[in-house]
């Protein structure tokens, strides 16, 4: 069997605001932005790197979805972003005014900094320890 994660949905309140954050501040690459209707778009972004799992930026369509924006994992870390240079990416977070939840810490598995995206979703940015 050959399976892989292709997309992870992040609920957003506005496509362009989300794109500005993910591409303008986190330096993700815009993969696709296709208009599906007057109110719905198919918007994919991904970190600049070799991975092939994309974030699907999905505008909340009802009150229940709107209430989940920024809390899709119940307050736990939602996404884990690996990097080859934590110092570079940590400085990018700082320079772009992104909220740091926990300053860089060395762990057995690597160095990690915890931050929040524009909506409050919690991310781990990790430079893995080389094995």
Query: From first to last of its 131 residues, what are the pLDDT tens digits of the chain?
Result: 889 999 999 999 999 999 999 999 999 999 999 999 999 999 999 999 888 899 999 999 999 999 999 999 999 999 999 999 999 999 999 999 999 999 999 999 999 999 999 999 999 999 999 86
Fold topology of 1-69: 2,3-Dihydroxybiphenyl 1,2-Dioxygenase; domain 1 (3.10.180)
Kindly report the CATH class assigned to 71-131: alpha beta
Which residue intervals of the chain bear CATH 3.10.180.10? 1-69, 71-131
Q: Is 130 exposed, middle or buried (0-12, 13-18, 19+ CB in 10 A)?
A: exposed
pTM of the model: 0.93
Contact (CB, 8 A) for 6 and 53: yes
């Amino acid at each position: 069997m050959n399976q892989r994660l292709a997309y992870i949905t992040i609920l957003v309140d506005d496509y362009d605001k989300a794109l500005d954050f993910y591409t303008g501040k986190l330096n993700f690459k815009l993969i696709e932005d296709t208009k599906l209707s007057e109110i719905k778009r198919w918007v994919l972004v991904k970190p600049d790197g070799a991975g092939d799992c994309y974030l699907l930026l999905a505008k909340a369509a009802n009150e229940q979805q709107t209430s989940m924006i920024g809390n899709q994992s119940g307050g736990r870390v939602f996404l884990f972003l690996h990097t080859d240079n934590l110092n570079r990416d940590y400085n990018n977070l700082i320079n772009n005014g992104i909220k740091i939840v926990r300053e860089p810490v060395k762990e057995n598995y690597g160095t990690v900094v915890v931050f929040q995206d524009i909506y409050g979703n919690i991310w781990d940015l990790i430079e893995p320890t080389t094995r």
